[in-house]
Chains A and B, each alone.
Chain A
Amino acid sequence: MKAFAALIGREVRLAWTGGGLWLPVVFYLAVATLFPFVTGPDKALLARTGGGILWIAALLSTLLPIERLILPDRQAGVLDQLALRGWSDELVATAKIGGQLIAFAIPLLLATIIASALIGLPEDKLVTLLIGLAIALPALSGLSVTIAALTAGLNGASALGGLLLIPLAVPILIFGAGTLSEGSGNAIQLLAATSLAIAALAPFAAGAALRASRV
């Protein structure tokens, strides 16, 4: 357990010292800043569509760290050393997802508050957006680690990562953005169910990808 915590701590340290903290958050805030320039200062329109744009931005910003999630550890032999110590690939993947959740998800939620102020999102929508993102972020962290494991070492890993993420993340985006619309009904439950399923499967998918890439 102590070793598991040490590995999560290492993930967070690597993320925050390697630019992994600021890059996704700055990207996310940049989208929020640029969006009103496109639509014009129409407050009603921004309030209606701004939440959806932040969902897209959150989704795409999960792609930004994928190149440094697995590949450097594979090249430096860190993954080999963990396997040698009897760590299962699934456990390593879980630690990486956990680290990603702390290193990336928490700053993103804080940035959401700033971004919604930039867009002029009403307070009730901000609360719904924060709840929705908090539910979805374990799944998004799981997807980013899985995609990082699948594409580690491939040429054009980022572009391929984008192609892989989009179909997998569509349910999250549909239900997530759905929570923001009037009379959203069960969207939040469906979002939670989708997120849970993806978050539960991700360690196994990422673990299998890690195992397959060990040569």
Chain B
Amino acid sequence: MTSRQVYAPSLRLENVAVFRGNRLVLSGLSIEAAAGDVIWIRGANGCGKSTLLRLIAGLLPKTSGTITAEGNMALADESLALDANLSVDKALRFWADMDGATPGHRDVALTDMDLQALSEIPVRFLSTGQRKRASIARVLASNAAIWLLDEPYNGLDSASCARVDQAILKHAAAGGIVLVAAHQAPSINVAQSLLLDRQEKAA
């Protein structure tokens, strides 16, 4: 797990604005993250947290501003993206192979998210919390430098929340960047905490 990144990842957003439909979802947003940073994005439901993460991931077009990212990214949002009929282990292996991650990475990810006992269970049998853990395990196993976690604590019990905290801290300590979008206050030490407001202006 040491020195997973050959170069230091960085992420920079300058004055970013996004329209979705006819609504201004984000505007004038600037974020700067260097290796080892955990950025906590807070805000009420519908304030644009998920939009921001999808924007950084390159899945949505920005309306204005610049986004520069060094390092590959991994995203865990509300979609699991694991094949329902495969076992947890095989479903994770599909993405780990895509990312060129070693089996060691996958084992560590399964252990960190306490999924070893479930690794042979088909994904479709997982409970809400177990699905969330599997989706975070997918990020852990991805070998990516920048993690984008959308509501990673949803549906998790307190022990699992602590495991997510640990995984985030471990990744940051190894020189990665973690962006967490959550509706609650940070449960760990973060480099920057950002409160998004709902944009009331309509176009």
Interface residues of chain A, those whose CB is within 8 Å of chain B, are: 2-3, 6, 10, 14, 17, 75-78, 80-81, 83-85, 214-215
Contact = CB atoms under 8 A, between A and B. Distances in A.
Interface of A, helix, strand, loop or mixed by DSSP: helix
14 contacts: A3-B98, A6-B94, A14-B83, A17-B85, A76-B84, A77-B78, A77-B81, A80-B59, A80-B75, A81-B95, A83-B57, A84-B59, A85-B98, A214-B59
Contact of B80 (A6, A77, A83): A77
A67 to B, nearest CB: 16
Contact of B75 (A2, A10, A75, A81): A81
Interface in B92-117: 94-95, 97-99
B79 interface: yes
A75 B78 CA distance: 10
A75 B79 contact: yes
Contacts of A81: 75, 81, 95
Nearest to B74: A84
Interface residues of B, number: 24
B93 to A, nearest CB: 10
B58 interface: yes
A84 B79 contact: no
A84 B58 contact: yes
B61 to A, nearest CB: 9
B197 interface: no
Most central of B72, B77, B83, B95 by chain A CB within 10 Å: B83
Contacts of B54: 80
Contacts of A84: 57-59, 73-75
Nearest to A75: B79
Q: Name the residue among A17, A81, A214 with the largest chain B CB count within 10 angstroms.
A: A81
Q: Which of A14, A75, A77, A215 has most chain B Cβ within 10 Å?
A: A77
A70 to B, nearest CB: 14
Given A3-B98, A83-B59, A10 B83 contact: yes
